[in-house]
Amino acid sequence: NLPATVRIVEVGPRDGLQNEAAPIPTAVKIRLIEDLAAAGLSEIEAGAFVSPKWVPQMADSAAVLAGLTRDPRKRYPVLVPNLQGLEAALTAGARDVAVFAAASESFSRKNTNCSIDDSIARFEPVLSRARSAGVPVRGYVSCVLGCPYEGEIAPEAVARVAKSLIDIGCHEISLGDTIGVGTPLATQRMIGAVAEAVPIPQLAAHFHDTYGQALANLLAAMQMGISVIDSSVAGLGGCPYAKGATGNVATEDVVFMLDGMGIQSGIDLTRLAEAGWRVLRHFDRAPQAGVSRALWQK
Ligand code: HMG
Ligand code: MG
């Protein structure tokens, strides 16, 4: 039941860089996004129009979009937490946006300062404004396999939030294992519950690799028919509201696995790894991700 092709949504320039402590020049972000596009990524999350007090690292997202040479065949979504963020994103020329909710009440409050239900209510005007602007909206659900504050999360809670996001008009739901605690059978149970409310083709897997389980969980997700995978070049990232969380699964690791299984992604692994190394040179770090490090040593 494995998919023949997988669409990778590269989230490194947003989910990865939002967690870096030191300021990153806008030009470094732009170069990274352009390098990723050149490596074959067709969808690259380019920033977030969130409160700069909450996530300072994303404060230059408008400048990133303005400076970017965009390939018209590619998509460069940005996160928006509310109408204010959407208006700023539209003004900056965003053509794809994403809203983000959580399956855990505590995480919802820490990340967006409101309850789950209030977050959905806040997104309703965002979705209707985006619809009138002709801008598709993706919906994220965080903490789908565990919460840093509440521990285990019931699959039904994930399904409920995913369904709410679809009901208000999101075209795709990205299921976030924010703290990377999922394991393969739990992943399949969670996807099974969500699939009763949202068709599998509308679901994406967004797994962080904190406990080294992400590739195994992705295989388990693909066995359930999931064919959209979020990942971060060089495994950049973490989450500012989830202590100890490391980056998303590395795009290099995902592409190596897909290549080995004969699943098409359209991505050139060498150019992808080079894109990661270039941004790591800026941070003066070696790659953390397995495949990126293995290629680096050659
Ligand atoms: P709040 O403080 O409740 O908002 O934050 P507020 O509406 O009361 O506004 C307070 C101030 O923020 C005001 O400014 C607003 O203008 C400003 P002041 O009058 O005090 O000077 N403000 C904004 N500024 C810029 N852009 C905006 C915006 N909205 C309000 N859009 C809010 C509520 C949602 C804004 C805040 O909690 C926030 O920005 N949160 C973002 C958190 C975030 O970005 N987290 C990381 C992304 S989610 C993630 O990483 C998970 C994911 O990867 C999936 C996974 O792994 O699970 C997607
Ligand atoms: Mg994430």
Sign of the torsion angle spanned by Cα atoms 220, 222, 226, 232:
positive
For the cut 80, the answer to whether the pLDDT of residue 272 exceeds it is yes
The CA distance from 279 to 78, in Å, is 20
For the cut 50, the answer to whether the pLDDT of residue 298 exceeds it is no
Whether 239 is catalytic is: yes
The CA distance from 170 to 136, in Å, is 7
- Do 210 and 179 touch, CB atoms closer than 8 A? yes
Question: By C-alpha distance, which of 284, 235, 297, 276 is closest to 39?
Answer: 276
Q: Is the CB of 142 under 6 A from ligand 1?
A: yes
For the cut 70, the answer to whether the pLDDT of residue 245 exceeds it is no
Percent of the chain whose predicted confidence (pLDDT) is above 90: 90
In angstroms, what is the span from residue 295 Cα to ligand 2's centroid?
Answer: 25
In angstroms, what is the span from residue 54 Cα to ligand 1's centroid?
Answer: 6
Q: Which of 10, 14, 50 to mutate to test the pocket of ligand 1 (most atoms within 8 A of CB)?
A: 50
The CA distance from 62 to 93, in Å, is 8
Q: Is the pTM of this model over 0.95?
A: yes
pLDDT for the residue 21: 85
Q: Which atom of ligand 1 is nearest to the CA of 100?
A: 58
Q: How many CB atoms lie within 10 A of CB 205?
A: 29
Q: Is the CB of 76 under 6 A from ligand 1?
A: no
In angstroms, what is the span from residue 110 Cα to ligand 2's centroid?
Answer: 14
The whole-chain average pLDDT of the chain stands at 95
In angstroms, what is the span from residue 5 Cα to ligand 2's centroid?
Answer: 23
Query: What residue owns the CA closest to ligand 1's atom 13?
Result: 51
Q: Tokens 């393969």 correspond to what residue?
A: 184
Mind spelling out the 3-state secondary structure of the chain? CCCCECEEEECHHHHHHHHCCCCCCHHHHHHHHHHHHHCCCCEECCEECCCCCCCHHHCCHHHHHHHCCCCCCCECCEECCCHHHHHHHHHCCCCCEEEEEECCHHHHHHHHCCCHHHHHHHHHHHHHHHHHCCCCEEEEEECCCCECCCECCCHHHHHHHHHHHHHCCCCEEEEEECCCCCCHHHHHHHHHHHHCCCCHHHEEEEEECCCCCHHHHHHHHHHCCCCEEEEEHHHCCECCCCCCCECECEHHHHHHHHHHCCCECCCCHHHHHHHHHHHHHHHCCCCCCHHHHHHHHC
Q: What is the pLDDT of residues 101-148, one digit of tens each?
A: 999 999 999 999 999 999 999 999 999 999 999 999 999 999 999 999
Q: How many CB atoms lie within 10 A of CB 270?
A: 11
- Do 68 and 33 touch, CB atoms closer than 8 A? yes
For the ranges 94-103, 108-117, 234-243, the lowest mean pLDDT is seen at: 234-243
Q: Which atom of ligand 1 is nearest to the CA of 245?
A: 56
Query: What residue owns the CA closest to ligand 1's atom 30?
Result: 51
Mean of the pLDDT values across residues 5-24? Answer: 95
Q: Is the CB of 202 under 6 A from ligand 1?
A: no
* Ligand (nearest to CA of 179): 1
